[in-house]
Every structure is written in structure tokens, then in C-alpha cells.
Amino acid sequence: MAASILLLLCSSSFERPNVPVHQPIIVTADSLHVRSGPGRSFSITNKLTKNTRLSVSDRQGDWYYVESSDIQGWVFKKFTKTVALRSVQPSMQVAQREPVYTLSKSLRHLKGKTIIIDAGHGGKDKGAIGTQGTYEKDLTLRTALILQNKLQKEGAHVILTRTHDEYLLLSQRTLQSTKADAFISIHYNSTNNSQLTGLMTYYYHQHQDSPLTHSIHQSLINHAKLKDKGERFGNYYVLRENTRPSTLIELGFLSNEREETYINSISYQQMITSAIAEGLNHYFQSKEKTQTHL
């Protein structure tokens, strides 16, 4: 009886891992069991085939808690290997079999809107380099591609300042925004202090930019499990020289090893792009209400 109670308690405590790790892995065995807990005594809930890609969200000894779009459970890590996201092109990273963070509601206010998505850095400009070798330019492009897909599904007209690894002048990034309804520049942070974590958003023109920045920032904070570092004035070219509502967002610190791993995961990318889309929808909804009452 005592053993049964202990097993039940262990099973319950392992159902929801507390600390996200989000390390991408690939199955190396021809067949790998997924179990309800971290040990061979736990029941088999599924079976994986060789080369299946998954995301690790917790570790217990020699066991990984893994997730995909339709599988959650524990696998023996000996029969897996880690995958370096930098070895996968951003366009391919978008299609990886990872948990999908679905939009919480219909975003009808995005329909017909023209939105510029600026993936920061590119080409010879790598941007920040993470503690594990992540290039900011790769991560911003992956985020931009996922966000583009979500906005287009809601009927928005989306323009990317770059669609591959290329260097752009700052003036080229703002050139297409003259007729846009919103301009979003995507970045990831870095600092000499490896303890700093969190996300922040920037605006330049108070009246033109701050409503957009506020809507997106609030949505990011409501969804992301990252520290709120606030909305700030930023004297950045892509904001300063922009004639349309614009914002620059820093979606986490690559200089913090744990946060770098977390923000590199496709599950985080899915979540954060959904948050941006919902923030945009709220911005346009509020703007339409204001115009109606004028």
C-alpha cells in the first residue's frame, strides 16, 4: 500500500514540470517509449520513431520530459541527442514539430491591415551572440517568419524587411513603411551582466508610437514567463525616422544562458508571436473605437 501511494504521489508531481528548459532534441533509437513518469516503472503512454524532433521542458536524472504537438511524457535521454538550432535554417525551424501556442480568440481587427515586420540585423551584422552561440540575426528572422504566418492567416498584409540572411541598411528597413498600418522591429537583448533577464519594448514618437508599443507590451507580459522590464523611449533609427506607428521589441536576453535556451525554443517562439498578434489586434481595435467616437 505504501509503495502504491508513493508511486501515485511521484506520478502526480511529474505531470507538470515546474521549470522550463525547452532544449530541442531528436530521437536516435529506432523505437523509444514515452512514459508517464521518469522511470521504467511508469506506464508507457506513446512510442516514438527515429529522427522524431521534440522539445525538452524538464529533466529528472537520466530522463527528459518532452513535448510536441500531440505528445507529452518522459523519455530516456540515452536514446536522444540535442539539436543545435543554429544548424537549422530559420525557415525550417518554423516547421519543426513543436508545441503550437494557439491564438486565444479571433483577431478580426487585423484583417486588411498592412504590417511591416523587421527582423533585426542580418548578413555581416550578427547582432548579439548568446552564451551558447545563438546569433540574434537567426532568431529574429525565425520569429518574423512565424509571426508572418499567423498574421496572414488573420487576413493581414505582411511585408518582411528581409526574408533570409542578408545585410540591410537602416534606411532600407524603414523605406517600405510609408503606407503601413504598423511597423514592428524584432530584437533580442544582450549585456555584460549575465544575470539580467526579461523583455522590454521601445517607442520614439509619443503620440504616434506609444499606443502600439503599449498594446504589444501588455500582451507580451500577459503571455510570456519573462520579467517585465517596461516600455521605454528609444532613440533608434527605425523608430525615429519612421512616419508610421512603430515599435522595437527586445524579446529576452541571449546573455543569460537559461533565458537563451528558453527563448530559442519553438514553443516560446509560438507563444511570443501569438502575443504580438493579439497585441496588434487590440491596438487596431482601440484605434477603431477612438475613430468611431470622433
| DSSP 8-class letter at 43 | P
User: Which H or E element spans position 66?
Assistant: strand 63-67
Question: Among residues 273, 267, 266, which one has the least CA distance to residue 88?
Answer: 266
Q: Can you read off the three cell numbers belonging to residue 156?
A: 493581414
> 181: left (phi > 0), else alpha (psi -120 to 50), else beta?
alpha
Positions marked active-site: 250
String of DSSP letters for 127-172: --B-TT--BHHHHHHHHHHHHHHHHHHTT-EEEES-SSS----HHH
DSSP state, residue 281? H
Relative to beta strand 114-119, strand 31-35 is unpaired
Q: Tell me the residue type at 104.
A: S
